[in-house]
Structure 1
Amino acid sequence: MAALLYASRAADCPYEIVLVAANDPGAAGLNLAAAEGVATFALSHKGMDRPAHEARLDAALRDAGAQFVALAGYMRVLTEDFVVRWEGRILNVHPSLLPLYKGLHTHHQALVNGDSHGGCSVHVVTPALDDGPVLGQTPVAILPGDTPDTLAARVLIAEHQLYSRCLAGYVMRERSPEYLVAQVRARALGLPESDEVVSHGMPCFGIAKGKKFAYVAVDHHGDGRIALLVKISGADEQAALIDMDEARYFRPAYFGDGWIAIRLDLGDTDWDTVADRLERSWRSVAPRRLTALLDAADAF
């Protein structure tokens, strides 16, 4: 936690720590955070059932404005319900080279098995223990005479270096043009007979040899925004969307009333909504034989 906090003080760090929370009111990190001017939340889990405790924790995180959760020595396994509520937004650092040695006693296992290296991994948290996508790893050489404690001490240094870099990269990916275009591409090209070309300097998706149904604008005309452009029913729908959330939706220049631009670079994109908008737009230009094919697949 301290390593993440002090890394956040660098001028070019893309994240800030808004809350340090613990289930042990005596955790030393709480005093450190308070001394550094960071808000804290402590609630013992003793005497509380797990869902009630996690509900209080969840409320504290949201009240603080947290967008991501970085676990740092939090030794209680989070329930599936909590993880799902923060899906894709919880990271953890684990003292092994995953998928090796999930759970506890990782250094002991590396030594008993005669491994040449221990190490650490930063991964996305999923409901399965230590099983989410790995974002980064650092191998740490095992030395003659190492014990679990001596190996753990060196792995801890590696954790401090690795975690802040992985967290910074993960936070920034939702504002990275490459990541955002890739997310749209995966969903657009998953639609029947869709293809990708470059049009007006933008990634453009359409029916192969047919009409276009989506563009990704990256700083188009120097507006500083990354946005998905999709077809809609017309001016009324366009106005309604903009009125609902003018920070996210806007009228794309030169595209007219039949299109809407959806900001992708706000850091909280709902990719299910993006997939739905892409499919609707695709349906508006796809021939009947293709929409019938998709309808038949949806029926199963």
Structure 2
Amino acid sequence: MTIKAKIAVLISGAGTNMAALVYASRIADCPYEVVLVASNDPQAEGLALAQAEGIATFALPHKGLTREAHDAAMEAAVLEAGAEYIVLAGYMRILSDGFVVRWAGRMLNIHPSLLPKYKGLDTHARAIAAGDSHGGTSVHVVTPELDAGEVLAQIAVPIVAGDTPDTLAERVKLAEHQLYPRAVADYVSRWRDPVALLERVRNLALAFPETDERESHGSPGFRVGGEKSGKYFAYFADQHHGTPHIACLVRTGGMDELLNLVEAQPEVYFKPAYYGASGWIGIILNRPGVDWDAVAEWLTRSWRGAAPKRLTRLLDVADEF
């Protein structure tokens, strides 16, 4: 049985994008489920729809509360519902930096323009006034800077003669309802997509000096030191040797370290077949919430362990200061 990602949807009004997300989630192969719909307006129409669909709801007016206090209450409801991601769907509140940082990489928004154009409000009027041929909509990762996070998906919508901001908005809304469920589904599935995971490992591994990629024992491997004398410092393994793991394999300091890590954090590490006997450890990637900074640190350490001294000498000197 496939484990579905749990999302909380924050709304302020009719919640049509929320409805699109809910009904898409009812399709059998959808990788997410909506576990909460929350609003800063107890009268928001979308709350009634969510209740009719049997989804938990939460509402708290923001008037009289500091931004941080209101965000904390919303976040508490999200956590109580067990949500792993927050999806903003017409939530007309600027969130506090602390809230956004705590959910970094786990909060998405949809914006009615082709970002990076027209951040903020009045997007349709601005696109028409500029003489643009198209308006549109973008799904992006939420960051403290308004509408500035990574753009995950977009749909362009033609601007036709006689368009007003309202007529353009109507057509863009139709595009939003198609785009948002698919973009959310793709995003929450990235943690189990071997193509996406390999690309992320590849980008990290090949960023080091004098590295190249070469297949070894059926796995993509990453080497340092040149064509003839290069040594492997990492491998990407996609459920090899009967394990359920998609993993990045890196060098450890030895068997004691490997076994201690596996015993202490079995949800993060495992001893890979074949490679484990040589002190290599597997970092499990097909799980929610992977700490990619930690993966990058492991790759750095493994690269330094395999790289020739002429490449690591300056780094070794820098470590002394």
For the superposition of Structure 1 and Structure 2, which TM-score range results when normalised by the shorter chain? over 0.9
Letter in 2 for 1:268: G
Instruction: Identify the residue that residue 247 of structure 1 maps to in structure 2.
Output: 267
Letter in 1 for 2:114: L
Deviates more, 1:191-200 or 1:269-278: 191-200
Deviates more, 1:111-120 or 1:82-91: 111-120
Q: 1:232 aligns with which of 237, 252, 274?
A: 252
1:80 Cα deviation (Å)? 2.1
Instruction: Identify the residue that residue 120 of structure 1 maps to in structure 2.
Output: 137
SS at the partner of 2:94?
coil
Matched, 1:109 2:126: yes
1:292 Cα deviation (Å)? 2.3
Instruction: Identify the residue that residue 96 of structure 1 maps to in structure 2.
Output: 113
Instruction: Identify the residue that residue 99 of structure 2 maps to in structure 1.
Output: 82
SS at the partner of 2:147?
coil
TM-score by length of 2: 0.88
**189 and 47 in structure 1: CA distance in 2 versus 1, 3 angstrom threshold:** same
Matched, 1:214 2:228: no
1:145-224 aligned at under 5 Å gives the runs 145-208=162-225, 209-224=229-244
Q: 2:301 aligns with which of 277, 280, 284?
A: 280
1:154-208 deviation per Cα after TM superposition (whole angstroms, max 9, x unaligned): 1111110111111111111221111111111122222232222110111111222
SS at the partner of 1:129?
coil
1:296 Cα deviation (Å)? 4.9
Instruction: Identify the residue that residue 282 of structure 2 maps to in structure 1.
Output: 261
Letter in 2 for 1:262: I
**21 and 259 in structure 1: CA distance in 2 versus 1, 3 angstrom threshold:** same
Letter in 2 for 1:112: A
Contact 1:192–1:294 (8 Å) recurs in 2: no
Matched, 1:20 2:37: yes
Letter in 2 for 1:159: E
1:270-293 deviation per Cα after TM superposition (whole angstroms, max 9, x unaligned): 001101111122222233332222
Equivalent-residue separation in structure 2 for 1:242 and 1:41 (angstroms): 40
SS at the partner of 1:261?
strand
1:215 Cα deviation (Å)? 0.8
Deviates more, 1:241-250 or 1:9-18: 241-250
1:298 Cα deviation (Å)? 6.5
Deviates more, 1:179-188 or 1:134-143: 134-143
Letter in 1 for 2:296: A
1:220-268 deviation per Cα after TM superposition (whole angstroms, max 9, x unaligned): 1243320111111222222221222223211110121511111100122
Equivalent-residue separation in structure 2 for 1:299 and 1:27 (angstroms): 59
Deviates more, 1:196-205 or 1:108-117: 108-117
Letter in 2 for 1:267: P
Contact 1:175–1:265 (8 Å) recurs in 2: yes
Equivalent-residue separation in structure 1 for 2:27 and 2:318 (angstroms): 50
Equivalent-residue separation in structure 2 for 1:280 and 1:225 (angstroms): 22
Sequence identity percentage: 60
TM-score by length of 1: 0.93
Letter in 2 for 1:111: I
SS at the partner of 2:34?
coil
1:112 Cα deviation (Å)? 2.2
**57 and 296 in structure 1: CA distance in 2 versus 1, 3 angstrom threshold:** farther
Equivalent-residue separation in structure 2 for 1:79 and 1:36 (angstroms): 30
Unaligned runs of 5+ in 1: none
Contact 1:123–1:136 (8 Å) recurs in 2: yes
Equivalent-residue separation in structure 2 for 1:248 and 1:121 (angstroms): 33
What is the aligned-residue RMSD (CA, Å)?
A: 1.9
Letter in 2 for 1:144: A
Letter in 2 for 1:66: A
1:16-44 deviation per Cα after TM superposition (whole angstroms, max 9, x unaligned): 11211211122121221122121222222
